[in-house]
Structure 1
C-alpha cells in the first residue's frame, strides 16, 4: 500500500526513547545495570497522516512527566514541517522482581534535566 504499518510507530517511539536517554548520558542499559526496569504501562498514538515508504522522517522525543516511580515520554513524528503522528508512553520503575520501585536518584535527576 506504500504506507508505514501502524504497528511500527511504537517501535519508532522505543528507538527515540532509547536514543534520548543515551543522549542524556543515562542509557537504558545503565538503568538495568542498576537493577531496575522502566516497564511500559501505557501507549497512545494519534495518527495524523500516513507516513509513506521512503519518507525522510524525524522523531522528536521529550520527557513530559517524571515522578519518583513513573515517567511519561512524548513523541512527535514529522516529515519536514508536516506532523505525521504524536504519541506518548507511560512507564513505571520496577525492581528485578517486577515490583514497583522508586527510581534511583541519579536516574530521577537525569530525567528531570
Structure 2
C-alpha cells in the first residue's frame, strides 16, 4: 500500500541540447529531469542528497516508468511536481507530473531504496531520519 507524502515542484527550462531534430525534447532527457527533481525535493525538506552521500548512502533507481503525453519543446519551462510515496519500510516511490503551463506533458515514477556500500539496507541516513516524520505526515 502506498502512503502519500509531501510534494515539491521544480522548474526546468528546456535547453536546445535536450531536443531532437524536430525541436522536441528527446525521451532520454526526462530521466535527467527526474533526477534533478529528486535532488530539489531532498534539498527542500532539509536532507540534501550531498548529505545523504556524505553519510555513505546511495539511493539507486530500482525502476523507472514514463508515459509521454504531449511534447515539451526548446524554450518551454517545465514544472515537475514530485510527490514521494512510502511503499514499505525499505522502499519509496517518487511520482512525477510534468506540466508546461496547464498542459500535462508526461507522468512518471521511480522506485528507490537506500544502499550502503552497494548493499540494500534498512538503515537510513541521519539527515533523512530527521525529516521522515514530515515526509509522511499522515502516518
Scaled by the length of structure 2, what TM-score is found?
0.74
How many residues get paired? 112
**Distance in 2 between residues matched to 1:110 and 1:47, nearest whole Å:** 32
**Distance in 1 between residues matched to 2:115 and 2:48, nearest whole Å:** 17
Over 6 Å off, 4+ runs: none
- Equivalent runs, 1:1-113 vs 2, <5 Å: 1-96=22-117, 98-104=118-124, 106=126, 107-108=128-129, 110-113=131-134
**Distance in 1 between residues matched to 2:101 and 2:76, nearest whole Å:** 10
| Aligned-residue CA RMSD (Å) | 1.6
Scaled by the length of structure 1, what TM-score is found?
0.90
Query: Unaligned regions of 5+ residues in structure 2, if any?
Result: 1-21, 135-139
| Greater relative CO (CA pairs within 8 A, separation 6+) | 2
